[in-house]
Amino acid sequence: MEAAYEPKTLQEAIVHFSDQVNCLNYLVARRPEWANGVVCPTCGSDKVSFLQNQLRWQCSVHHPKRQFSVKVGTIFEESPIGLDKWLAAMWMILNCKNGISSCEIHRALGVTQKTAWFMLHRIRLAQQGKMGGKMGGNGGEVEVDETFIGQKARNMHKAKRAEKIQGRGAQGKEIVFGMMERGGHVRVMHVEKRTKKELQSAIREHVEAGAAIFSDELLSYDGLESDYEHSVINHAVEYVNGNVHTNGMENFWSLLKRGLHGTYISVEPFHLFRYLDEQAFRFNNRKLTDAERFDIGVREIVGKRLTYAELTGKLESSSEA
């Protein structure tokens, strides 16, 4: 096959990927297990022939499922949606700073809203990158912070506000904890509580001992001094004191909430981690071009599968996508 062409803009991507052969070439070139040629996903044989009229391959070894498409073993597996629509949807969600809703995908690509919602969640699965090693090595500086995700009290009806919010405004909201290495990547996770045990356990799991850690005055961070160079900024007094601040994490929270409140409007707690992965992917690759970010995203589609039953918690699967 010809070397895969790399579109640089959304317009170029839509035009280029309107040809199924172009989609095929692009994806084959980015499947790591096919770096030395297409192999059968069932038996591993490299003796496969390409069926031009079906745009799929056939293994020379006789066994079940000897015919396979480029979708096999990816987030696209068993989806009747064409690759032209899949790749256009991927380009948009990977490169729109505040995300893109299923309603927008539904209108732009001509699929149902339910199908668009399923497609976006499958793409978010591909954005769950590998964590890699610990943060803060070689004298690195790490900011840690937590935020609340949920409906704003001022936007609620009086009766709903009385039902949902009791005591402090944080009641009834979801807690998200984040760690950011200055000049590096961010890691975020949905946590149950802001207790010392839960937050410090996450810090010790992801941050190298001896690193410089910057946090606010939350008491759950007390005791980090035993393993880290811990500096605290008191937000009741100031937001920056020399090098001590958590402004990097605050910037990420601003981007996250802009997407959750402005684009997605309502996110179920059960799915919150998927939206966190989406925003973290875009943020961690923010210095790349749209084409480079898309290239990385496409390389992550292999070996990841999300069924409709898993997504909704139902036994039956959807025939929509």
Q: What is the pLDDT of residues 94-108, one digit of tens each?
A: 999 999 999 999 999
Taking residues 248-274, report their average pLDDT. 94
Taking residues 178-199, report their average pLDDT. 95
What are the chain's domains?
A: 10-129+301-312 (no CATH), 141-267 (3.30.420)
Backbone angles phi, psi at 279, to 5 degrees: -70, -35
> What distance in Å separates the CA atoms of residue 38 and residue 101, rounded to the nearest whole number?
35
Token pair for 154: 């001022």
Give residue 292's identity as a one-letter amino acid code.
E
On the CB side of 218, CA atoms within 13 Å amount to 19
pLDDT bin (cut points 50, 70, 90) of residue 6 is confident
In DSSP notation, 30-86 reads: T-GGGTTS---TTT--S-EEEETTTTEEEESS-STT-EE-TTTTBTTTT--S-HHHH
Decide if pLDDT at 321 tops 70.
no
Give the pLDDT confidence of 52-80 residue by residue, as tens digits: 999 999 999 999 999 999 999 999 999 99
Taking residues 260-272, report their average pLDDT. 91
Decide if pLDDT at 127 tops 50.
yes
Q: Which residue has the tokens 């409906």?
A: 151
Residue 176, H or E segment: strand 174-181
Q: What pLDDT, on a 0 to 100 scale, did the predictor assign at position 320?
A: 45
Percent pLDDT > 70 in the chain is 90
Output the CA–CA distances (angstroms, integers) from residue 205 to 4, 130, 135, 154, in the order listed: 39, 14, 9, 37
Decide if pLDDT at 165 tops 60.
no
